[in-house]
Chain A
Amino acid sequence: MQMQLHEDAPRLVVPDRAEATARMKIDRAGWAVRSYARFDRAAVMRVTRAVAEAAHKAAQEYAEWAVRETGMGVVEHKRLKNELSAHPLVDFYENTDLVNPRVDAGRKMVEIPKPAGVVLALTPATNPVSTLYYKAILALLSRNAVIFSPHPLARACCAHAAARLEAAAVAAGAPAGLIQCIEEPSVPLVQALMASPKVQVILATGGGPMVRAAYSSGNPAIGVGPGNAPVYVDPTADQTLAAQRIVDSKAFDNSVLCTNESVLISLAENANRLERGLRAAGAHILSEPEVGKLRAWLFPHGHLNTAAVGKSAVWIAQQAGLRVVPSTRVLIAPVAQVGLDEPLTREKLCPVLAWATAETFERATGMAQMILRMTGAGHSAAIHCEDPQKAMDFAAALSVYRVVVNAPCSQGAAGFATHLAPSFMIGTGYFGRSSVGENIGPQHLVHWTRLAWNSDASVQMGDFGAVRAPFEGQAPAPRPAPAPAAAPLAEAGGMDRDMLRQLILQELRELTRGQS
């Protein structure tokens, strides 16, 4: 082998420390979950609440950090998303018991929940910390351990947030190692980890190739495909309200939620009314030459200019050479066609909305389906209308698993303005090449062992009233975090040196208990 002898190039090849360390994290998670999977429900909820509280308290800090680190989104919206992924998320599952066995005397069946084990969770650059919060809470509610592989653009805020949540979990009695984060994420590393036989399930949020890689890993995976939500505004809808909701939704965190409306479809008959509403809500409707300029900047050579993702409408307008008033919240580009021939009708993840007009409701529905055929199948759509029949027909015709009605789609499809499950993983189901078609929740991280009795009436099931549940007690002995290298992060999590020292001493005492 020819040696490279540049002045600063290493003369020896150092083995990939990131991968070796990440594999150790998987083993550590295995240990942590072994203990945590025996917690009873009260202990599980105590840990989860403590983590939610830590998450809530740091919502603003990480909103700022994420925007600073990734250059995407809006701080106040990110704070809101972070907050929603803390206590309200736990509230939603407060009565979903994934810990206690269920006894069904009628069907002569007992069902025992079994956590998946080690969850490998990918988080995107667009919603880094809110996704991390959300997946951590899902894992805790279902008694799993989670290892995060953040998008490299958001690795620092994610690593810090994961350490903080871990510290909160440990302080609430959880074993150390339940919430970990890869410090140096990279594509080859995450691919290697996804294939690890010690990972039980992958929660993949990210770009299409990463989601496909998760499914190709050989491990069970829950991946979600890209969105590209069409939104139809029917003449029966309150045009002003519909316009307001759509603009609010598009402006929310600069459209980084994959549930944001991508293409607006209206009928010719309500176009003028709708346009007035959109303008009033802060949208800038582009002229035909402006659409051309925007298209050229946003889709050079037909591919999305990723610099636009999560940026404000004003910034994008500036880059594309358009003049807009500083209060502009959304850019709306009227288009003559939808689908493959019009790049502006693809997923954009920025406050740019394409707008197509149809002659009839049926034609509008066809357009929506055409858009989804290109990208976004299985994801989300929205409709604004007062006619239940049209809502039914629209939803029945489209290859999506959720259609938000009379609500902003960004928040609505993610369960924050509807009664859908609050989620940063929108299951795209079979239409979208995913294994789950609903909003992902903690129930997807648990499988059940079923004790099924002979159905013959002569065979009795017995009384389960006094049977011991498979718990190791109220709160198994806490495992303090290891002391040395992690100290700065642990401190950020509210652990001071004295407390750390106490924990280490306690651990040493435990270690030496067995000596004779």
Chain B
Amino acid sequence: MFNYGFFNFDSKAELLDKAIEYWNPGKTKFWQDAGIDLVIDRREGYFLYDMSGRRLIDLHLNGGTYNFGHRNPELVATLKSALDYFDMGNHWFPSVARAAFAEKLVKTAPGMKYAIFGAGGAEAVEIALKTARYATKRRKIVSIIKGYHGHSGLSVATGDDRFSKIFLADRPEEFVQVPFNDIDALERALRGRDVAAFIIETIPATYGFPMPNDGYLKACQELCRRYGTLYIADEVQTGLMRTGMMWGWQSYGLEPDMFVTGKGLGGGIYPISACVVTEKCGGWLHEDGAAHISTSGGSELGCVVGHQVIDILQRPEVISNVHFVADFFHRSLNQMMAAHSDVFVGIRQRGVILGLEFDHPEGAVAVSRALYENGVWAIFSSLDKRVLQFKPGVLLDVATCQEIVDRMEAAMPRVRALLRSPRRAA
């Protein structure tokens, strides 16, 4: 009996049935078929516990949402404290929490002027794209093939067909895609001087973290400047110290016109996102500040949490820890790759953002499963299933990191077995 007070289930099987019946049959069945029978129950730090009680180390972190681990005690205390005084607030009015958080956020990013809040990454992207159209009076948006910016109206149109066509939300006349790391293709797309914005994840996450070629992002930014297009850095997965600096674009020496952050900004306990813009882009905030409205965007509770998230990330101890974790995985994964070079063929890394390449079109699906069976949860890249997303948190300690490597090592024979098997899910 799983008694949660508000509701209860006799068994995990009953829960799965109810999930299929009332919630999302496709998603529920997908994981069952993939051999990942995970239903996350308890969670603490970088550990997840399945309903069966089995413990998993979380290397998925929902793209950095759990950058600080699950239910980070300091953030939980922050939210509880905020709940004793505030609620979501009234978006129409200025508020202490929003003003303080906006200031805190803007001050992390030299050259930026305003922070416009949303409730999730897609909303922040939506704000960025609308802001670009306002500022340039142009309509076209360019993004990269296999880029990922969310699932709302404008944001989904920038991404992969898989997510737009099904809802008839693809708009090829307004949304143009160019190959990643292809500067000429971008120039061809911008040359007509009719593009409002070029939006790009600083390191494309859902594509498996392929690393931008040396100078690529900078060249993109220069092309944008030349053709009057605004450069939007999508920092949802690369921001918040995950590259070893507060924002990924800083580590590439960029000066974007806008950037978007979400996921970990709410510490995994209260949803909040932000689009941060320069003075030049923020004109609509003067002309009609209520032109974009979001009842739950910039909730005051989220602002208090986000304020503390930034505060934690700025501590020297955290910065140092990120570097230790990055360095640890750099060394140990390279050693592991040398020992398993028949299947494990590449490491993409910047800070604690890693993509591990496996020599098989669906190699990472097998690795994800083998790791799951060995107590580690890391997800494959939806848009490149050769690559495992490997996303350690910024506060990981030595013992957990060593355990991750030990468990990964233990999983390698199973990886080989799965890759040899004709039906990999078997």
- List the interface of chain A (C-beta within 8 A of B): 1, 3, 11-15, 17, 20-21, 24-25, 27-28, 30-32, 34, 176-177, 198, 479, 481-486, 507-508, 510-516
Evaluate contact between A484 and B348: CB separation under 8 angstroms: no
Chain B residues with CB under 8 A of A177 = 320, 324
Among B77, B328, B346, B395, point to the contact of A24 (Cβ < 8 A). Answer: B395
Is B251 among interface residues, defined by CB-CB distance under 8 A?
yes
For the complex formed, measure the closest distance between the CB of B346 and the CB atoms of chain A, giving whole angstroms: 5
- Is A13 a contact partner of B81 (Cβ separation < 8 A)? yes
- List of A residues within 8 angstroms of B317 by Cβ: 21, 24-25, 27-28
Q: A12-B81, A484-B316, A516-B211 are in contact. Are A27 and B327 (CB under 8 A)?
A: no
For residue B319, CB closer than 8 A to chain A, the reply is yes
Top 7 closest A-B pairs, CB basis? Answer: A514-B349, A15-B77, A24-B317, A31-B324, A482-B319, A515-B211, A30-B398
Q: Does B382 contact A (CB under 8 A)?
A: no
Q: Is B316 a contact partner of A12 (Cβ separation < 8 A)?
A: no
Q: How large is the interface on B (under 10, 10 to 19, 20 to 34, 35 or more residues)?
A: 35 or more
* Shortest beta-carbon distance from A514 to chain B in Å: 4
On whether the beta carbons of B350 and A27 are closer than 8 Å, the reply is no
Extra inter-chain contacts (20) besides given A30-B398, A177-B324, CB under 8 Å: A3-B85, A12-B81, A20-B73, A20-B74, A20-B312, A21-B317, A24-B318, A25-B317, A31-B320, A31-B397, A177-B320, A484-B314, A485-B314, A485-B315, A485-B316, A511-B244, A511-B327, A514-B330, A514-B334, A515-B211
Chain B residue nearest to A514 in the complex (CB)? B349
- The yes or no answer to B363 lying at the interface (CB within 8 A) is no
Q: With a CB–CB cut-off of 8 A, which chain B residues contact A3?
A: 84-85
Asked whether B350 lies within 8 Å of A511 as measured between CB atoms, the reply is yes
Binding site secondary structure of chain B: helix
Given known contacts A20-B74, A31-B324, A511-B350, A13 and B319 CB-to-CB distance under 8 angstroms: no
Q: Are A508 and B244 in contact (CB under 8 A)?
A: yes
* Bound-complex Cα distance A198 to B321 (A): 15
Pairwise interchain contact B350-A1, C-beta atoms closer than 8 A? no
Q: Is the CB of B348 within 8 A of A516?
A: yes
Write 28 A-B pairs (CB below 8 A) sorted by A numbering.
Answer: A15-B74, A15-B77, A20-B73, A20-B312, A21-B315, A24-B395, A27-B395, A27-B398, A28-B321, A30-B397, A30-B398, A31-B328, A34-B398, A198-B397, A198-B399, A482-B323, A484-B316, A507-B323, A508-B244, A510-B327, A511-B327, A511-B351, A512-B349, A512-B350, A514-B334, A514-B347, A515-B211, A516-B210
Question: Distance in Å from the Cβ of B402 to the closest Cβ of chain A?
Answer: 8
Given the known interface contacts A479-B327, A485-B316, the answer about A12 and B397 at a Cβ–Cβ threshold of 8 Å is no
Given contacts A12-B85, A13-B81, A28-B317, contact A479 B324 (CB under 8 A): yes
User: Is residue B176 within 8 Å, beta carbon to beta carbon, of the partner chain?
Assistant: no
- The docked-state distance in angstroms from the alpha carbon of A30 to that of B399 is 9
- Chain A: minimal CB distance from B43 (Å): 19
Could you say which residues of chain A place their CB within 8 Å of the CB of B315?
21, 24, 485
Contact B321 A31 (CB under 8 A): yes
User: In the complex, A211→B164 CA distance in Å?
Assistant: 65
B349–A27 CB distance below 8 A? no
Contacts A12-B304, A515-B348 given: A27-B321 contact, CB under 8 Å? yes
Binary contact track B62-97/A, C-beta < 8 Å → 1, others 0: 000000000001100110011011000000000000
A204→B73 CA distance, assembly (Å)? 28
C-alpha spacing A515/B73, complex, angstroms: 33
- Interface contact A511-B81, CB-CB below 8 Å: no
B314 contact set on A, CB distance < 8 A: 484-485
0/1 string, B326-357, CB within 8 A of A gives 1: 11101001100000000000111111001001
A515, B203: Cα distance in complex, Å: 11
Of A11, A31, A176, most buried by chain B (CB within 10 Å of CB) is A31
A24 to B327, CA, bound (A): 17
Residues in chain A near residue B357, CB distance under 8 A: 516
| List of B residues within 8 angstroms of A483 by Cβ | 319
Closest-by-CB residue of A relative to B314 is A485
Q: How far is the CA of A171 from the CA of B321 in the complex (A)?
A: 19
Q: How far is the CA of A177 from the CA of B351 in the complex (A)?
A: 19
- Could you tell me the distance between the alpha carbons of A511 and B346 in the complex, rounded to whole angstroms? 16
Cα distance A516–B347 when bound, in Å?
7
